[in-house]
Amino acid sequence: MTTVREDEQPAPYGTGAATTKPARRVRVHHLREMKERGEAWPMLTAYDMYTAKIFDQAGIPVLLVGDSAANNVYGYESSLPVSTEEMLPLVRAVTRSASRALVVADLPFGSYQASPEQALTTAVRMMKEGRAHAVKLEGGSRFAPQVEALTSAGIPVMGHIGFTPQSEHGLGGYRVQGRGASADALVADALALEAAGAFAVVLEMVPAEVAKRVTAELAIPTVGIGAGPDCDAQVLVWQDMAGLNQGRSPRFVKRYADVAGVLSQAASEFAADVRGGSFPAEEHSFH
Ligand SMILES: Nc1nc(=O)c2c([nH]1)NC[C@@H]1CN(c3ccc(C(=O)N[C@@H](CCC(=O)O)C(=O)O)cc3)CN21
Ligand SMILES: CC(C)C(=O)C(=O)O
Ligand SMILES: [Mg+2]
């Protein structure tokens, strides 16, 4: 039996041609180095094998198994209901499938807020059972003890501030955060996460000017979603980016494809072929 070692697989970046150059795993220090060089980087969510492979090979350096799986995989109305048990198989599928990307697992609502101990228990499961390379949690300076507990245990942590969907009800809906006088608090939260050891911080629905200020004040990368062009990185939910989600999109979404249209067309043609008797044809049959 021939086994292909991870470091012998073709590099997903560049020409796509097979190469002897090892495809090295993206590490958190690479992300900070990209910030230092002023190179913006993309991040996408992924929840399964095909998307993980496709995005990995397209050169997306960081894949997020978001708790947005709640509404984009499981069909819940928000991200609040999803559990660690529901997240783990998705995390495992993505880490099994991405040979280059750094895979970040979102900690679901209720799985880390109670204490640093609870956060560590959940994060360890994401690393051991999900084989994640890092975890992400929502919240600012109040969650610095959680971030410290995880980083002390050797688990890289991505922060997430601004509009934090798990606090939708506390924040009073889907609203831009950090406008006016609350900008200083947002900057303080970002600095507290960096001081606690976070390797990056997501800024969601934050005025572009405030995100620019946070990005300038932090040594670690900022990852924007509805946070303007001056963040070090940008993230989108893949079903929004690829047009699988046909619902009303938030303002920060740009659609790069019409996957819903492609799939709908394919399913309609298949149905018509079956109904009309033109599928399966001779070439699809065994004798
Ligand atoms: N498909 C999908 N995309 C996401 O970006 C996403 C999820 N799901 N699920 C988890 C959270 C929820 N997020 C959301 C969801 C909705 C809005 C939204 O409706 N925004 C409006 C209102 C903004 C305002 O009132 O100021 C917008 O137009 O941007 C924003 C973020 C981001 N995350
Ligand atoms: C939108 C991103 C940042 C996220 O947290 C998620 O997909 O769950
Ligand atoms: Mg999330």
Residue 148 annotated in ligand binding: no
Which ligand 1 atom is the nearest neighbour of the CA of 79? Answer: 10
Nearest CA to ligand 1 atom 33: 68
**pLDDT band per the 50, 70, 90 thresholds, residue 253:** very high
Mean pLDDT calculated for residue range 225-237? 98
Residue 22, pLDDT score: 56
**pLDDT band per the 50, 70, 90 thresholds, residue 9:** very low
Mean pLDDT calculated for residue range 165-171? 96
Nearest CA to ligand 2 atom 7: 66
Residue 29, pLDDT score: 97
User: Is pLDDT at 5 greater than 90 in this prediction?
Assistant: no
Residue 247, pLDDT score: 86
Which ligand 2 atom is the nearest neighbour of the CA of 136? Answer: 5
Residue 19, pLDDT score: 54
| Mean pLDDT, the chain, whole residue set | 94
The more confident residue out of 242 and 248 is 242
Per DSSP, the three-state class of 203 is: strand
Dist. CA 60–CA 56, nearest whole Å:
5
User: Is pLDDT at 271 greater than 80 in this prediction?
Assistant: yes
Q: Which of 70, 112, 63 is nearest to 91 (CA)?
A: 63
Dist. CA 59–CA 201, nearest whole Å:
21
| Ligand 1 site, residue 174, Cβ cutoff 6 A | yes
Mean pLDDT calculated for residue range 153-178? 96
* Interface predicted TM-score (ipTM): 0.96
Share of the chain above pLDDT 90, in %: 91
This prediction's pTM: 0.93
C-alpha torsion sign, points 170, 174, 178, 182? negative
Residue 107, pLDDT score: 99
Q: Kindly name the residue from 33, 86, 204, 217 that is annotated as catalytic.
A: 204
Dist. CA 170–CA 163, nearest whole Å:
11
